[in-house]
Structure 1
């Protein structure tokens, strides 16, 4: 089983080849979460993901013949980029099989690193099976995204850096897909500091490791914002590590992850993808588990589709009350809309959209329903705006 010696050796191999990313306290998030919160910025790696660590550690250990023939990997994105980038650096041919649902930003970046990208399958399992076929046909070395000792050892170097930077950490929170990151981190952390807690995080839609180690049978599947940890089944090596070293696994839903992405962008000005935001989502969802502790969160990756990010930001603004949809009923006469917009303006809100509804309403025929989408400062501001409209004689409510 992978242990501290193998992880230390991996750290020596990776020195100068991957970034020793910052691990910094976030005072604002600490206040919000009720625990001393430290962030490990793995989204600052060259390919914006911790996956570089395992990929590089695997590739540098290949034999001359294996390097000459090339490698193949299956990934929804971050592992693909890590393998492609370091293969290009080392002059190794890389073929990457990606499922068809992979965000295009990850596909294009992988190609940009010189890899041959093959889009195949609607699930990770279908893509993996195709990659294994190609590996056999072309005599390529298969670089597994997580169930490989060299990969796990490489990922475990994250823990060495975190505990070197912040030795007083009491809990580490790590997203779990196949288990390579959490397995490596837990093995290293427990060896260095036996009393430290390691908490894994999965989404409700893909609780593969949760089911495996807790002997549960939660349903699995569907689309998820955290596609980087949308793994069908855990690895054998990684499951053993999780069962031995990981203290618990917390499940978060899609809304929790979306909120965490927006918080990190708004407060820390750092961009993470769904899987990268999962640790913060867990801390915000289960504050009693982490209260009063010194907690290290691994921001695993920052590769997110810009269109998805735009939707998440807007939904986050709605949740925070900074974007609100109001329904205002008024007499359908000249000047009514002008009065309403004047009230909104005086209240300090900004109108994004206006829509008159005359046909699809139960109001009297001489009345009109006006739907407004407004930018506000938050929930209290929305309440003040509704009061101002009501005080002016309009029927107004938030939809």
Structure 2
């Protein structure tokens, strides 16, 4: 299972290949939130999201003979690109299973990284079953998007950086808001903070209508989303929390938060205007919660992870047209 030792080992393998993203701030965002806001822009990570960390961690941890046969992953785009880039960096083949309604930019980028892309119907096909079938037929190693110890460990390196950077900023007690799908990033960050910055508390943030993690934490057992499509926050739409990630989040995280699509779009515009970064809807929900749910956040400061920036031009233009004035 994932542990701080596994996260620290992943950090050693990621030293060099991964970027150490900064903490950004803006007095304009502080004014909106009513407290100090620090943003961790993983949209500046390789492939445009934190998923590069987990992909590299998992691929680099494989036995060389196993790795040489290739890897397979399923993803709406960010995990796809992370695994594809990691496979390319190690000189091994990759097959990526993607939903047919994923943003075209993510599909194109995954192919550009050398991966074979297999599309599936998100509403009517089981991606887990499809991935297992192809892995068995071709002898590929399946790298799951969140419920995999080495993937969680890679994502947890984000938390190691947050712990160090928060200390540099003089922040010892704060909520750390994390864009959450299946919980790989959230649980990894939570484990890192437990060991390195116990005054910082990870909290998952999801889109309204797809808040399975928040509902699961409130109920004390895993809840499913009633539907798996129909949100602009495609990057963080999953059926339910993972069997590995949920117990970690249940033990370490504060209550989950949910924001509207309009709030995610507004956060995208504000991030561009005030921080000069580009984030996708699913990658903006943590910042949206920091700005527009101040009553639900504890502490004089809040840290928000901007988890991905792979947004189609049309969606980004909509955010700026509606909220960039």
Q: Could you tell me the TM-score, scaled by structure 1's length? A: 0.76
Could you say what secondary structure the match of 1:173 adopts? Answer: strand
State whether residues 99 and 123 of structure 1, in contact with CA within 8 Å, keep that contact through their aligned partners in structure 2. no
How far apart are 1:127 and its partner, in Å? 2.7
Q: Could you tell me the TM-score, scaled by structure 2's length? A: 0.93
| Cα shift readout 1:110-169 (whole Å, capped 9, x = no counterpart) | 011000111112349623321211111111100000000000011000011111122124
State whether residues 203 and 252 of structure 1, in contact with CA within 8 Å, keep that contact through their aligned partners in structure 2. yes
Residue number in structure 1 paired with 2:253: 246
Residue number in structure 2 paired with 1:373: none
The match for 1:287 among 266, 281, 294 is: 294
| Cα shift readout 1:171-210 (whole Å, capped 9, x = no counterpart) | 2110110000000000110222223222110111211212
Q: CA RMSD in A?
A: 1.7
State whether residues 56 and 86 of structure 1, in contact with CA within 8 Å, keep that contact through their aligned partners in structure 2. yes
Residue number in structure 2 paired with 1:314: 321
How far apart are 1:81 and its partner, in Å? 0.3
| Cα shift readout 1:326-375 (whole Å, capped 9, x = no counterpart) | xxxxxxxxxxxxxxxxxxxxxxxxxxxxxxxxxxxxxxxxxxxxxxxxxx
How far apart are 1:105 and its partner, in Å? 0.3
Residue number in structure 2 paired with 1:195: 199
How far apart are 1:6 and its partner, in Å? 1.4
Tell me the distance in 2 between the aligned counterparts of 1:211 and 1:290. Answer: 18
Q: 1:92 to 1:267 in 2, by over 3 A?
A: same
How many residue pairs align between the two structures? 318
Residue number in structure 1 paired with 2:230: 223
Could you say what secondary structure the match of 1:202 adopts? Answer: strand
Could you say what secondary structure the match of 1:47 adopts? Answer: helix
Task: Tell me which of the two structures has the higher relative contact order, counting C-alpha pairs closer than 8 angstroms and 6 or more residues apart.
Answer: 2
Q: How does 1:9-48 map to 2 (within 5 A)?
A: 9-48=9-48
State whether residues 36 and 302 of structure 2, in contact with CA within 8 Å, keep that contact through their aligned partners in structure 1. yes
Could you say what secondary structure the match of 1:251 adopts? Answer: strand
Q: How does 1:123-134 map to 2 (within 5 A)?
A: 123=123, 126-134=126-134
| Cα shift readout 1:209-247 (whole Å, capped 9, x = no counterpart) | 122222278744441111110111111000011101111
State whether residues 202 and 252 of structure 2, in contact with CA within 8 Å, keep that contact through their aligned partners in structure 1. yes
Q: 1:124 to 1:284 in 2, by over 3 A?
A: farther
Residue number in structure 2 paired with 1:276: 283
Gaps of 5+ in 1: 323-399
Could you say what secondary structure the match of 1:37 adopts? Answer: strand
Q: How does 1:165-176 map to 2 (within 5 A)?
A: 165-167=165-167, 168-169=171-172, 170-176=174-180
Residue number in structure 2 paired with 1:177: 181
Q: 1:112 to 1:220 in 2, by over 3 A?
A: same
Gaps of 5+ in 2: none
Residue number in structure 2 paired with 1:87: 87
Tell me the distance in 2 between the aligned counterparts of 1:50 and 1:269. Answer: 18
